[in-house]
Copies of this chain bind each other. A is one copy, B any other.
């Protein structure tokens, strides 16, 4: 998925401002949130953490807490952040920290299905298509006897217990979603990675049994591998903690410390004027990118994009529409959208990976500005659905 792409633009060195040659590959396959770097760079020292050689040596952070490897200052920052942004109920919830929300998704599956029975069938895991392409792989890669991917929630018709993942706003298509199966035997995991003001209007504080969030998408710090779950039920929190204990004996304390610091600065910024407020800044930036993208697509005979309704956002105190982290681009019928874009050296992820047709492709809008602009330029040059590279 992520990983080496021959001849692609080095993602690691923001300072080397390589000019993009028409030959370079633009990798917009995964949602690497590097667009937020300039904001954090501008803040300078304020977000800097200093860690000395003897700090953070123990496995333990807080042995009195169910999640014994969670740094108390991170737990505090997370709760304050949700109060400030108003996107989730965090009072009286257990916080479980994970190595990204990737690990927490698996922890939640484990918590909802273990210990399982020796004879019992693995529990079905479903999600409404188009769904985030990694869920399937994360669910099935170890061929667990506890749980098993069962695909699109809309076509799920097996009796008995199941787990449904609700991703809202949805990856890949940005839609605001609710559970679709709605049966008594079901358990829900809400993946709210993108429920932040820069991506979508905050209409109410989310209030579900298991809510997953991530530092990767909230502030753009994907390299830290910090995610968190807000969990209602003590037994579930305990089992999720157990999963992370067995799978990695906890979560990097350096990352936790830094996340606590940066979330603290973000919270403080919410008291300030627009450009100092990370979420308002992000909201403007995403709105700008979407405007530019819609301009290009409007003039295209081939491509289309979803439309999003206007909603009141409690955070920015304005009506606004969603500006998702990904563009869910549709090609006119019978065109393989991913292949077409690849022929123009734009790497994206095709619809089939999300459980739908190949006329769709998902494109990250979180890249560095240079790549985003280059992407728009190439996109606007695609005039026919033929596979060749444009010859302009």
Q: Interface residues, chain A, CB within 8 Å of chain B?
A: 1-5, 8, 10-12, 30, 32-34, 36-41, 43-54, 56-66, 68-69, 98-100, 102-103, 106, 110, 114, 116, 134, 137-138, 141-146, 216, 220-226, 241, 243, 245-255, 258, 262, 265
Partner of A99, one of B47, B99, B145: B99
State the CA gap A146–B63 with chains docked (Å): 34
Interchain CB contact under 8 A, B246 and A137: yes
20 sampled A-B residue pairs with Cβ under 8 A: A3-B245, A4-B64, A12-B58, A32-B60, A33-B57, A40-B54, A45-B52, A47-B52, A57-B220, A58-B223, A99-B248, A99-B252, A100-B250, A110-B141, A116-B143, A142-B146, A144-B144, A144-B145, A225-B249, A226-B252
Which residues of chain B have C-beta atoms less than 8 A from A114's C-beta?
141
State the CA gap A146–B144 with chains docked (Å): 8
Interchain CB contact under 8 A, B59 and A32: yes
Interchain CB contact under 8 A, B265 and A252: no
Which residues of chain B have C-beta atoms less than 8 A from A8's C-beta?
63
A272 to B: closest C-beta gap in Å? 16
Which residues of chain B have C-beta atoms less than 8 A from A57's C-beta?
33-34, 36-37, 40, 220-223
Closest Cβ neighbor of A122 among chain B residues: B143
State the CA gap A365–B44 with chains docked (Å): 43
User: Which 7 A-B pairs have CB atoms at the shortest separation, nearest pair first?
Assistant: A47-B53, A143-B145, A252-B252, A254-B254, A40-B53, A41-B54, A40-B54
Copies of this chain present in the complex amount to 2
Given A58-B223, A225-B248, 14 additional A-B pairs, CB 8 A: A1-B245, A3-B63, A3-B68, A30-B59, A39-B54, A53-B262, A57-B223, A99-B251, A110-B141, A138-B247, A141-B243, A142-B142, A145-B145, A248-B248
State the CA gap A343–B41 with chains docked (Å): 56
A112 to B: closest C-beta gap in Å? 13
A356 to B: closest C-beta gap in Å? 22
Closest Cβ neighbor of A65 among chain B residues: B4
State the CA gap A49–B145 with chains docked (Å): 43
Which residues of chain B have C-beta atoms less than 8 A from A251's C-beta?
99, 225, 252
Interchain CB contact under 8 A, A53 and B34: no
Interchain CB contact under 8 A, B253 and A224: yes
A60-B2, A248-B102, A254-B255 as given contacts; A44 in contact with B36, CB under 8 Å: no
Interchain CB contact under 8 A, A110 and B142: yes
Which residues of chain B have C-beta atoms less than 8 A from A248's C-beta?
98-100, 102-103, 225, 248
Interchain CB contact under 8 A, A254 and B224: yes
A144-B142, A145-B145, A222-B58 as given contacts; A53 in contact with B32, CB under 8 Å: no
Which residues of chain B have C-beta atoms less than 8 A from A103's C-beta?
247-248
Partner of A265, one of B53, B100, B137, B253: B53
Interchain CB contact under 8 A, B53 and A2: no
